[in-house]
Amino acid sequence: RGSDHELTGGSGPEAWPLISPDGARVAFTTRTYPPDAGLKSDTPLLIAAVRTGVAEVVCSDCFRPESWSRDGNKVLISGSASATGTASPLGFVSEFDLISKKRSIVLQDPSRTIASPRYSPNGRWVSFMDSPASQATRQIFVASLAGTDFPVPPSQWIAITDGQTTNREPRWSEDGASLYFVSNRDGFTCLWAQRLDANTKRPAGPTVALRHFHSA
């Protein structure tokens, strides 16, 4: 109706709001970015009802919510300190089931930074970007979540880009047939698309520039 209102009214930091597919709930955390030096393992994942603003802690030691499943029953999160016994949440991604209240690590590689995981529209795949600790580039991958023991090993990750340039923030098309992302492969940060095979999700054909941004 053209007006905004305060949703939660929390007294402390609240960050990374993520609205559910049906628009009825918002997932968020009290973990801010950049993280403070004393990373703790008790940063909660909260779900707030849009209609009432009432927020519930659904996971006591989860970090940033990244993606809702289409049915609204699961959330991808950027790990937690207690899940691996380390103070760094960067090397893995977890899936939190809001029905069973259980968390599963779906991607893990301590030698890499894994970020921006997103469910495919059918929930059977996850896209994400990563970079080895020794490199400044970013590479985009897809991994299957169907019929696979978790965590999915890096050997089963499907490379969408070659890792020679910085490719960031992959997002699925609504039909799951393409990935959109930003890349500096032409010297500028532009918007690109990669068609995917319907069954394997491997790249199908060349990467196509959707929009160039070569000036302000």
Instruction: Annotate 26-93 with DSSP letters as a single string.
Output: EEEES--SSPPSS--S-PPEEEEETTT--EEEEETT---EEEE-TTSSEEEE---HHHHTSS--TTEE
User: Which pLDDT belongs to residue 140?
Assistant: 97
Report percent pLDDT > 70 for the chain.
87
Report percent pLDDT > 90 for the chain.
65
Torsion from C-alpha of 44, 45, 50, 54, nearest 10 degrees = -30
Contact 183, 166 (CB under 8 A): yes
Query: Per-residue confidence at 32, pLDDT binned at 50, 70, 90?
Result: low
- pLDDT, one tens digit per residue, over 88-132 is 456 889 999 999 999 999 999 888 889 999 999 999 999 999 977
Mean pLDDT of the chain: 87
Q: Which two structure tokens, joined as six digits, stand for 184?
A: 């500096």
Comparing 59 with 40, the larger pLDDT belongs to 59
Query: Per-residue confidence at 87, pLDDT binned at 50, 70, 90?
Result: very low
**Which among 131, 48, 121, 58 is positioned nearest to 94, based on CA atoms?**
58
What average pLDDT does the segment 83-90 reach? 49
User: Which pLDDT belongs to residue 82?
Assistant: 46
Cβ–Cβ contacts within 10 Å for residue 127, how many? 25
Q: Is the pLDDT of residue 177 over 70?
A: yes
Q: Is the pLDDT of residue 197 over 80?
A: yes
Comparing 9 with 2, the larger pLDDT belongs to 2
Torsion from C-alpha of 134, 135, 138, 140, nearest 10 degrees = -60
CA distance 87 to 194: 35
Contact 91, 114 (CB under 8 A): yes
Q: Which two structure tokens, joined as six digits, stand for 147?
A: 């019929």
Query: Per-residue confidence at 83, pLDDT binned at 50, 70, 90?
Result: very low
User: Which pLDDT belongs to residue 158?
Assistant: 97
**Which among 113, 117, 41 is positioned nearest to 75, based on CA atoms?**
117
The DSSP call for residue 138 is B
Q: Which residue has the tokens 């970007």?
A: 129
Q: Chain centroid to CA 66: how far? A: 4
Q: Is the pLDDT of residue 38 over 70?
A: no
